[in-house]
Structure 1
Amino acid sequence: MPLHALRTPMPSPPTKGTWRTILVSGVALWVATVVVTFLTGNTNLLPTIVLLGSFLVPVTFVVWAYEHHHGGNVTVETLFSAFVVGGILGVLGASVLESYLLHPSPLVYLGVGAIEEFVKLLALLFVARDLTHRRRRDGIVLGATVGLGFAAFESAGYALNSLVTAQGLDLVALVQTEILRSLLVPVGHGLWTAILGGVLFAASSAGPTWRFTPGVVGTFAGVAVLHALWDSVHGIAIALTLMFTGLPWGDLMLQIGRLPAPTQAQANLVNLLEFVGLLVVGAIGLLWLWIVTMTGPGRREANSATAPPGTAPRPGHGHATGPARPAPTGQPGAPAAPDHPTGSERRGAPETPEEPDD
């Protein structure tokens, strides 16, 4: 073995359970920082609360995805680039496009979903530009990482906006915003971009160029609609509440452009409908990601990667096998020579290749 090979450290596989350590220690540090800030009133700790609360859950899920769906082609450096560079590029691109392209309309949330999923797709293509061998699982991990990076930087902005009010700094609003967004992160940006990344990588696994097949385009449209529904849940909940519990005087106020003050029962119904709506949209996204993960030859790739060299393929897994022939007398277990060549042997036909993912 050459000496330089001895000096080069071999990459170690991801350690199982690292995500749990990050989550537990990060939550403990965040809680300690919040408590100390409340007790001392030290505003120098506010950036720590904002950054730690915004990045803890996204980073934890990136590590979890890397541990459970590591395909060998995605390195830690690629993950870091996808999270930071992809997240920042996504936030910047979305801010510019939404400022110039969107205007108040009933379909504004559909425009938001299409723009943000588009810029995250561009960020994913940028960070994965040097990957020559693409697999479905790598697309899921990198897509989730880009989406979670986008969510982390976006959450930091929302947290800062909730902190700064006309009456001064509101630490309670900051804590509430970070808790709520942290709970919703797993079924938001990371989930949608993971779905799109898995389908895109599966469609582009056969060659060096990206292939935007009808399946990829349809997946993009689907995740954009999911995104729009997620953003529209609160408005839909208000509209349904007014439909179910509205009074004539409330309709008159809406007609003159004034929002009627909701009753306590209406406020409770809005919160319930919003929770149910987010639950339904999140469940649809999780089911879709499960389907993307479990379908296609990506599972065959994983099985072939773990099988020992020289292992005979099982029947029905891409290799033609004939019926078993009895062994010659006196040689138990020895395979019998065929009486005549098979059709593929006569023709010298090569083995049938697997179909592409999409």
Structure 2
Amino acid sequence: SAPHPSTGRYLTVALAEEAAKLGALAFALRRQPAVHGMRAGLVLGAAVGAGFAALESTGHALDAALWAPDPWGQLETELVRGLLAPLGQGAWSAVAGGVLLALRRPDGRFRYAPPVVAAGLGVALLHALADTARGLSPWLVVRLTGRGVETGLFAPGYPPQPSAAQQHLLTLVSALGPALVALAGLFWALSLARRNPPYPPWKNTP
């Protein structure tokens, strides 16, 4: 059978990363009890997510430059990934941060109530779906270009010795799935923003 990425591994990593981002937001605001509310959480959560995306994309690009057999071809894929990452990471963290600060107590303590847990699990699922779609892209490229599935396909994350056409197709395919998942997170964040009373529009938002 064809090798495939582990969805369970992607979900585990996504849960850990989303928990870390939410924890970083809570830690940064621990001495600022006045900062609360849905929209404050959306803005600050998005900022945390964008910062995480920048760090992650830098690491992926550096890894491709140092260890990839064809660094220039693979950096093309990482460049597109770097452009999309802030959208997905920012939207997912915005959702979790918005719900967290919406339920923050007046004394500044955070409530990890069921809605916060549900939001965290939801964004982790979106995160895992995006990673799974990206992980499946080499297999899909091989199928579309007519080459057989090779045993080591998913070890490096790229088709073995891809042609220039395959590399360009990989860039497109690996961006499409995560982009759709990122848009789902963005629409979720926008729906939460619209639920807030319109006046004043950004109360308690730094």
TM-score, reference length from structure 1: 0.45
Residues 1:192 and 2:92 aligned together: yes
- State the shift of 1:187 in Å: 1.4
Among 111, 127, 131, the residue aligned to 2:28: 127
Higher relative contact order (CA 8 A, sep 6+): 2
Residue identity in the other structure for 1:215: P
Q: Which residue of 2 aligns with 1:164?
A: 66
Q: Does 1:140 align with 2:37?
A: no
How has the CA–CA distance of structure 1 residues 211 and 166 changed in structure 2, closer, same or farther, with 3 Å as cutoff? closer
* 1:184-213 alpha-carbon deviations (Å, 9 max, x no partner): 133122221111111111111544321122
Tell me whether 1:109 sits opposite 2:10 in the alignment.
yes
Conservation of the 8 A alpha-carbon contact between 2:87 and 2:186: yes
Query: Corresponding residue for 2:182?
Result: 282
The match for 2:195 is: 295
TM alignment of 1:1-16, pairs within 5 A: none
Change over 3 Å in CA distance of 1:141–1:205 after alignment to 2: farther
> Please, which runs of 5 or more residues in structure 1 have no aligned partner?
1-103, 306-358
Structure 2 stretches of 5 or more lacking a match? 154-158
Matched, 1:210 2:110: yes
CA distance in structure 2 between the partners assigned to 1:159 and 1:245 by the alignment: 26
Partner Cα separation in structure 2 for residue 226 and residue 152 of structure 1: 19
Specify the SS of the correspondent of 2:111: coil
**Percent sequence identity over aligned pairs:** 38
Matched residue type, 1:122? G
Counterpart AA for 1:158:
H
- 1:125 and 1:273, CA in 2 relative to 1: closer, same or farther beyond 3 A? same
Letter in 1 for 2:21: K
Tell me the equivalent position of 1:13: none
Do 1:162 and 1:177's aligned partners in 2 also have CA atoms closer than 8 Å? no
Shift of the 115–185 alpha-carbon distance from structure 1 to 2, 3 Å rule, reads same
Q: Aligned equivalents of 2:138 and 2:67: distance in 1? A: 25
Q: 1:206 to 1:272 in 2, by over 3 A?
A: same
The one of 104, 118, 135 aligned to 1:235: 135
The yes-or-no answer on 1:150 pairing with 2:49 is no
CA pair 238-181 structure 1, distance change in 2 beyond 3 A: closer
Work out the CA distance in 1 between the residues paired with 2:14 and 2:83.
Answer: 20
CA distance, structure 1, for counterparts of residue 101 and residue 203 of structure 2: 19
User: Is the 8 Å Cα contact of residues 113 and 227 (structure 1) preserved in structure 2?
Assistant: yes
Please show how residues 261-272 of structure 1 align to structure 2 within 5 Å.
Answer: 267=166, 272=172
Q: Distance in 2 between matches of 1:219 and 1:117?
A: 10
Contact 1:191 1:286 (C-alpha < 8 Å) held by counterparts:
yes
Query: Contact 1:163–1:173 (CA<8 Å) still a contact in 2?
Result: no
Q: Aligned to 1:302, what secondary structure does the other structure show?
A: coil
TM-score computed with the length of structure 2 as normaliser: 0.74
| Residues 162 and 174, structure 1, Cα contact 8 Å, conserved in 2 | yes
**Contact 2:38–2:102 (8 Å) recurs in 1:** yes
Q: CA deviation at 1:181?
A: 3.6
Aligned partners of 1:296, 1:304: CA distance in 2, in Å? 10
Deviation at 1:278, TM superposition (A): 2.3
**Quick check: 1:230–1:278 contact (8 Å CA) kept in 2?**
yes
Contact 1:147 1:194 in 2 (8 A): yes
CA contact 1:234–1:274 (8 Å) conserved in 2: yes
CA contact (8 A) 1:160 1:174 kept: no
Distance 1:106 1:277, change over 3 A: closer
For residue 141 of structure 1, what is the amino acid of its counterpart? Answer: V
Question: Which whole-Å deviations, capped at 9, do the CAs of 1:315-341 have from their partners, x for residues lacking one?
Answer: xxxxxxxxxxxxxxxxxxxxxxxxxxx
- 1:114–1:221 CA contact under 8 A, matched in 2: yes
